């Protein structure tokens, strides 16, 4: 049976081989982490450039054919507070009942009352 010293020596050798094998992995992990950080820093400008290209007339399909994938993060749109009328409804939106006719008065639900001008 091996002595305690021999067992400890074998354990150290095994541990040294394991650490030596992990060294290259640690180096690659550090490089990978750095590259992922650099890529994350490009997400926002890439999203803005993609949206700008779409605004200039490029379709998502055309951009995909060029090799431009849909961005993970699109730029946030600035929200504007909506103007409220005295009755609590937002301005600039169509009534729930549909678009009122310009030919005559409309009822409270936004649908014309049937009176037409002649």
* Digit-coded pLDDT (tens) for 71-101: 986 666 666 666 666 665 555 555 555 565 5
C-alpha angle 81-86-87 in degrees, rounded to nearest 5: 100
| pLDDT score for 72 | 82
Q: Report phi then psi at 27, rounded to 5.
A: -65, -45
Kindly report the pTM of this predicted structure.
0.47
- Tens digit of each residue's pLDDT (9 = 90 or more) over 7-38: 999 999 999 999 999 999 999 999 999 999 99
């Amino acid at each position: 049976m091996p002595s305690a010293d021999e067992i400890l020596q074998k354990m150290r050798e095994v541990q040294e081989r394991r650490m030596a094998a992990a060294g290259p992995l640690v180096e690659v992990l550090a490089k990978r982490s750095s590259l992922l950080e650099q890529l994350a820093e490009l997400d926002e400008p890439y999203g803005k450039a993609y949206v700008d290209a779409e605004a200039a007339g490029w379709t998502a399909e055309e951009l995909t054919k060029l090799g431009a994938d849909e961005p993970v993060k699109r730029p946030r749109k600035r929200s504007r507070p909506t103007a409220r009328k005295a009755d609590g409804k937002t301005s600039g939106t169509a009534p729930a009942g549909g678009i009122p006719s310009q030919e005559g008065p409309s009822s409270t639900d936004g649908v014309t009352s049937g009176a037409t001008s002649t």
